[in-house]
């Protein structure tokens, strides 16, 4: 009888437990992680994304004064050491924070140096190519001679020599009889160095250029230029030592290169699970990411953590002060391709790492939602009556049950665009989203904060000072957190849908006419962009590779009674307003810039008015066409029809 009573009690308790969970007392787990996407010392300089101006580009390279040399005629380095010819003496120093030069012998008449692991190579004032060891004293020997040789570089037993016209030839050091083959040429070349599969050239107009030696038929690409702010010195020579770029000025000061950065560019990830379902929201301090790259990230996440692609949402904050991270075929050549080392060596591993760490650190937590208002933005594109602006600030707060640690996700739509002036315009920075995160962590007993960009395609800050914008937004988020929040309860589900808009292709004749109208050779940024667009499309047309459709991706998370919809492209504010109306009275948040930022997503109002968002931007994005006037209605109808 006692045994029967125990069994009865166990059954009753189990039924009660199941009923309790079924009545909405969902058990969630949440985890947060952050990973740096700050560039390392190498690559030496990165192009910043987001602005077509200034015409000559924005680059991250900054110069820091280290020391001075007297009458320096040659300058080079290797993996550990810097070398210089000063007053006819060969000096060397370890390439560390502090440079301590010491003389290792006389070396007069040398105009250019290159350093291998154990051997120095030089060009003297007679155009002769010399070599010498440097560890046990100097013993210069003539190897050969090259007409008008003035610059030399070495990489993996290949010697590169440039003449006065900038013609670069190379020869294998292992050959018994040197033979020289043309490699490339660079106008106004005054110094060059070889490093990690590339040649770097300094020109007389203070530009730093890069040539990828691993790729055939490539051209020189600008990686930095004099701007009078961060790059504010006039160089006569460059060197690489200990993976750091160094410059020697015309008045013989040695500078070390570094990235000008606020130091807090990052990826944040929030993982939420209930039962067998897990979703992750990822915020990146970048202008935008392309579909192919995001897909490769999701594939790696699936391989490592068995999370389907539809359960990973990757949002870009749209800071205009992050490294180029997607393809821009209609931009100048220095913007067209992201740096592969940064993308594959820093960015992709950081995103995957953050997602994995967020999943691994999940622990039981309560979830709460709140909504407030903000006045940080205004519609920059439309005028007249009823100008739209969704000024909602949505806040998701996760609080761990064990130690009450609070993580806050906040979402609003506004361009992270100001201020492209002075040093700020050349500084790697998350802009106001990063500043807001820091303010929230510092003042509100918040352990972690992450920003998700909403539908800010046509919304700019009303204040051109990002610090003040951040302070206002942080205050708005704090106001929400100080009010009663609604507890999130219910199961998790996730979906990925898409709408494919057929491309109305331009004819080749239309492209050629458009090109002719814009090819005026007057260095107008807009016209040059249009010419590049036409050239790109004409090449695609010849190869029969013009896309036949323009997809818009629609990702939906249901975390209990909170719905998060993430749209691809630069989504204008109307979409957030319209999507929320589909579920009146419900907790619905809408993010743009998710999974693929390949153009704007405008409405008919933008298209008919030929605003930047509705027309001109599509040429910057190298799109084959603009969207039809019905794009807004089509997307909204798709979301309504699916009713995820």
Residue for token digits 């210069």?
140
What pLDDT is stored for residue 618 in this prediction?
A: 98
Q: Judge whether 49 and 335 are in contact, CB under 8 Å.
A: yes
What pLDDT is stored for residue 445 in this prediction?
A: 87
Cα–Cα distance between 513 and 363 in angstroms, integer?
61
The matching CATH number, chosen from 3.40.640.10, 3.40.190.80, 3.90.420.10, 2.120.10.80, for 61-258 is: 2.120.10.80
DSSP state for residue 426 in the 8-state scheme = G
Point out which residues pair with 104 in neighbouring strands.
none
* Cα angle value 475/479/485 (rounded, 5°): 145
Residue for token digits 């030929």?
610
Q: Judge whether 195 and 206 are in contact, CB under 8 Å.
A: no
Q: Judge whether 545 and 626 are in contact, CB under 8 Å.
A: no
* Region for residue 528 given its phi and psi (left: phi exceeds 0; alpha: psi -120 to 50; beta: otherwise): alpha
What pLDDT is stored for residue 563 in this prediction?
A: 99
Residue 399 CB-density burial (10 A; 0-12 exposed, 13-18 middle, 19+ buried): middle
Residues in the chain where the model's pLDDT stays below 70: 1-24
Residue 420, C-beta contacts closer than 8 angstroms, at least 6 positions apart: 51, 53, 58, 320
Kindly report, as residue ranges, where domains of CATH 2.120.10.80 are found in the chain: 61-258
What are 304-315's pLDDT values in tens digits?
Answer: 999 999 999 999
Report the relative pairing of strands 81-86 and 587-591 from DSSP bridges.
Answer: unpaired
Taking the CB of residue 97, how many other CB atoms lie within 10 A of it? 8
Q: Judge whether 147 and 117 are in contact, CB under 8 Å.
A: no
What are 530-564's pLDDT values in tens digits?
Answer: 999 999 999 999 999 999 999 999 999 999 999 99
Laid out side by side, the sheet with 492-502 consists of: 492-502, 549-559, 562-567, 587-591
Q: Judge whether 391 and 223 are in contact, CB under 8 Å.
A: no
The DSSP element (H or E) to which 366 belongs, if any, is strand 363-373
Residue for token digits 């999943």?
359
Q: Judge whether 606 and 485 are in contact, CB under 8 Å.
A: no
Report the relative pairing of strands 198-203 and 189-195 from DSSP bridges.
Answer: antiparallel
Residue 115 φ then ψ, to 5° = -120, 125
Cα–Cα distance between 425 and 419 in angstroms, integer?
6
What pLDDT is stored for residue 1 in this prediction?
A: 43
Cα–Cα distance between 182 and 18 in angstroms, integer?
77
CA distances from 145 to 125, 163, 179 (A): 11, 11, 11
What are 240-287's pLDDT values in tens digits?
Answer: 999 999 999 999 999 999 999 999 999 999 999 999 999 999 999 999
Q: Judge whether 614 and 600 are in contact, CB under 8 Å.
A: yes
Cα–Cα distance between 262 and 265 in angstroms, integer?
8
Cα–Cα distance between 568 and 598 in angstroms, integer?
8
Laid out side by side, the sheet with 102-106 consists of: 72-77, 81-86, 89-94, 102-106
């Amino acid at each position: 009888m006692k045994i029967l009573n125990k069994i009865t009690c166990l059954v009753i308790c189990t039924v009660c437990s199941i009923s309790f969970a079924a009545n909405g007392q969902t058990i969630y787990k949440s985890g947060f992680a952050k990973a740096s996407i700050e560039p390392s010392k190498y690559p030496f300089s990165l192009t910043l994304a987001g602005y077509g101006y200034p015409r000559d580009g924005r680059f991250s390279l900054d110069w820091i004064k280290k020391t001075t040399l007297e009458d320096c005629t040659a300058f080079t380095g290797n993996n550990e050491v810097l070398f210089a010819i000063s007053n006819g003496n060969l000096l060397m120093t370890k390439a560390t924070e502090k440079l301590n030069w010491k003389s290792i012998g006389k070396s007069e008449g040398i105009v250019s140096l290159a350093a291998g692991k154990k051997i120095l190579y030089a060009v003297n004032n007679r155009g002769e190519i010399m070599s010498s060891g440097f560890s046990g004293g100097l013993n210069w020997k003539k190897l050969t001679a090259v007409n008008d040789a003035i610059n030399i570089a070495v990489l993996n037993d290949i010697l590169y020599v440039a003449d006065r016209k900038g013609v670069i030839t190379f020869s294998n050091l292992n050959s018994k009889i040197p033979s020289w083959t043309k490699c490339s040429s660079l106008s106004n070349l005054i110094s060059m160095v070889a490093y990690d599969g590339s040649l770097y050239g300094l020109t007389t107009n203070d530009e730093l250029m890069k040539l990828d030696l691993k790729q055939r038929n490539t051209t020189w690409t600008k990686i930095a230029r004099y701007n009078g702010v961060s790059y504010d010195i006039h160089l006569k020579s460059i060197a690489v030592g200990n993976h750091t770029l160094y410059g020697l000025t015309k008045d013989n000061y040695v500078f070390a290169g570094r990235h000008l950065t606020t130091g807090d560019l990052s990826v944040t990830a929030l993982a939420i699970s209930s039962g067998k379902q897990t979703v992750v929201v990822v915020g990146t301090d970048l202008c935008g990411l392309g579909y192919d790259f995001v897909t490769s990230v999701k594939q790696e996440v699936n391989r490592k953590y068995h999370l389907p692609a539809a359960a990973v949402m990757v949002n870009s904050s749209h800071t205009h002060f992050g490294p180029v991270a997607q393809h821009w075929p209609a931009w100048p050549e220095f913007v067209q391709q992201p740096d592969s080392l940064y993308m594959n060596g820093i960015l992709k591993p950081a995103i995957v790492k953050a997602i994995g760490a967020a999943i691994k650190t999940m622990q039981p937590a309560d979830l709460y939602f709140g909504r407030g208002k903000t006045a940080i933005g205004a519609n920059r594109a439309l005028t007249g009556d009823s100008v739209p602006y969704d000024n909602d600030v949505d806040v998701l707060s996760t609080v761990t049950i064990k130690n009450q640690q609070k993580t806050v996700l906040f979402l609003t739509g506004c361009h992270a665009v100001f201020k492209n002036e002075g040093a700020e315009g050349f500084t790697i920075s998350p802009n106001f989203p990063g500043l807001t995160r820091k303010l929230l962590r510092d003042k509100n007993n918040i352990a972690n904060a992450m920003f998700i960009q909403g539908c800010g395609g046509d919304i700019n800050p009303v204040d051109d000072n990002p610090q003040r914008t951040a302070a206002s937004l942080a205050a708005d988020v704090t106001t929400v957190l100080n009010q009663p929040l609604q507890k999130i309860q219910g199961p998790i589900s996730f979906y990925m849908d898409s709408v494919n808009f057929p491309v109305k292709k331009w004819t080749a004749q239309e492209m050629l006419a458009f090109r002719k109208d814009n090819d005026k050779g007057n260095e107008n940024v807009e016209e040059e962009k249009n010419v590049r667009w036409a050239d790109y499309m004409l090449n695609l047309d010849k190869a029969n590779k013009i896309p036949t459709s323009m997809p818009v991706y629609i990702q939906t998370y249901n975390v209990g009674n909170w719905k998060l919809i993430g749209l691809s492209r630069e989504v204008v504010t109307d979409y957030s307003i319209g999507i929320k109306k589909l579920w009146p009275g419900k907790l619905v948040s809408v993010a743009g810039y998710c999974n693929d930022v390949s153009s704007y997503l405008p409405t008919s109002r933008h298209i008919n008015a030929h605003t930047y968002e509705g027309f001109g931007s599509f040429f910057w994005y190298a799109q084959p066409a603009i969207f039809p006037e019905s794009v807004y209605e089509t997307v909204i109808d798709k979301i309504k029809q699916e009713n995820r």
